[in-house]
A and B are shown apart, each in its own frame.
Chain A
């Protein structure tokens, strides 16, 4: 598969309005309004505690929003059960790798609920690209760390999502593995999957992202093209620690 022009359309795939979530006295996500178009590849960055992972948890339904709305393909999914959201087309790769370590790679891939029931060409391509096709009979717990991360991405892809949420997909990877993952994400996006990525590795972000959203204290601090964001002095101060 070659890298094509990102198929960003005018159609809004995901929209959050005034989304708010507090834990005790801490407001992790604070009246967040975010719009993602179909076909986008968006990176969400921000310092620790900015609310990036909480935002993902609200989108997947792992956490219930205190207030605000989430629209996915125009449908209000704010109160929808997590498994129903997966069935609607949202799936997440968690921050810490969560695969079924005692099962083989092939057995792991039996578990996701495929929506369309036909052969998943995207999954087949992903397994081959990431080198997992040759490890189908291997227990997942015996895979290298990077392969475990990739397996979890493949588990999410097996649900045939329209919106893939990747929470720190390259954590703990070598530079080569990070580069492969970056190219994979770009290719996947070119394949038509809308991808939302939370990542700290700026080299990775620079490689994949066209649009970046910066979160700070649960709010959108800045949003725009990567070059603009990187040259923004306020972003550099809060995120990169520059004076």
Chain B
């Protein structure tokens, strides 16, 4: 790994400039992911698409928590809101051309609007930093509880039933013209790869901009940043809303993949998982969040197949272990260790070379 790559992995915030090495690595990864669609079987592609579809939600949390300093358990709530809104609109517009696109936009905008309203009261109300995780968790749990009691035919809009704890079923997949983006299709896989990479690139460019530095300033000293002329309350609402929109994108992709949404997607476990993904990889690095989200989704999937409920215990253990031993995240810590090693090797090598010319220097 090059020193530049190690720095990129720590990304706090981005080093200035756009190193060619980054684009070379990015190009290889993108080509690899896209090329995999030609060789992977349907099951593998569908699985990988399922892991990748959570990336926008996790990156949103990386931005909000890692760069803006706001820990939120609300990503699951916005994931669920977008999924349900998409299901309601798509189910009713199933016969209309472009209906699922309207539904996708509706889902994402719905999640963003709820986040903007919630964020307005939280951030303009100057709610203390440690209360926000609790409030966002409560938001997720309230939505889960509310949706769980929507069983019965009275809970319907148009032809779509809410479904209570059994969930909303038969949700149509996204469709653009003749192409349907359902779970087991190559088209869906390519869409998810494209959107997750785009989400990453977009956020990377945001955190590398002046706005990104102001966000980091807000995280490190909110009062100082306010006293340098910034409306930090408004900026926090903006970032909270953007993170929610990204969670909404994941929610829309999820229902398009599985044609199904149920309240447990907004429950305690679902609310905690994005926090685990961001913390384990390293919340201050978008690359680390990207990698850990896919890796931990894959790990959870493998464990679930082999060990049932033990997957959740292992995820919880990972979170505790990371917080205790790698507070900056595993990927970020490894990158830092690598950078220290490569940096210390240089001077040591030159000292050794010097000692050969001048015996006794290192004695």
Contact = CB atoms under 8 A, between A and B. Distances in A.
Interface of A: 60, 62, 81-83, 86-87, 91-92, 94, 98-103, 107, 110-113, 115, 155-156, 158-159
Contacts of A110: 210, 213-214
A26 B324 CA distance: 43
Interface in B189-237: 210, 213-214, 216-217, 220-221, 223-232
A92 B227 contact: yes
A62 B227 contact: yes
Contacts of B231: 81, 83
Given A62-B227, A98-B221, A110-B210, 19 more contacts: A62-B223, A81-B231, A83-B227, A83-B229, A83-B230, A83-B232, A86-B228, A94-B224, A102-B12, A103-B213, A103-B216, A103-B220, A107-B213, A111-B213, A111-B214, A111-B230, A115-B229, A158-B228, A159-B228
B226 A82 contact: yes
Contacts of A112: 228-229
Interface residues of B, number: 19
Contacts of B210: 110
Contacts of A91: 227-229
A104 to B, nearest CB: 9
Contacts of B221: 98, 100
A111 B12 CA distance: 15
B229 A113 contact: yes
27 contacts: A60-B227, A62-B227, A81-B231, A82-B226, A83-B229, A83-B231, A83-B232, A86-B228, A91-B228, A92-B227, A94-B224, A94-B227, A98-B224, A100-B220, A100-B221, A103-B213, A103-B216, A107-B13, A110-B210, A111-B214, A111-B217, A111-B230, A112-B228, A113-B229, A113-B230, A155-B228, A156-B228
- The B interface is mostly helix, strand or loop, or mixed, namely helix
A67 to B, nearest CB: 22
Nearest to B214: A111
Contacts of A156: 228
Contacts of B220: 100-103
Nearest to B234: A83
Nearest to A114: B229
Interface in B290-322: none
A101 B220 CA distance: 9
A243 to B, nearest CB: 41
Contacts of B223: 62, 98
A60 B223 CA distance: 11
B217 A83 contact: no
Interface in B146-190: none
Contacts of A101: 220
Contacts of A86: 227-229
B224 A87 contact: no
Contacts of B232: 83
Contacts of A102: 12, 216, 220
B215 to A, nearest CB: 10
A111 B228 contact: yes
Most buried by B among A87, A91, A113, A156: A113
Contacts of A103: 13, 213, 216-217, 220
A98 B223 CA distance: 9
B225 A111 contact: yes
A101 B170 CA distance: 53
A94 B226 CA distance: 13
Given A62-B223, A110-B210, A100 B228 contact: no
Contacts of A94: 224, 227
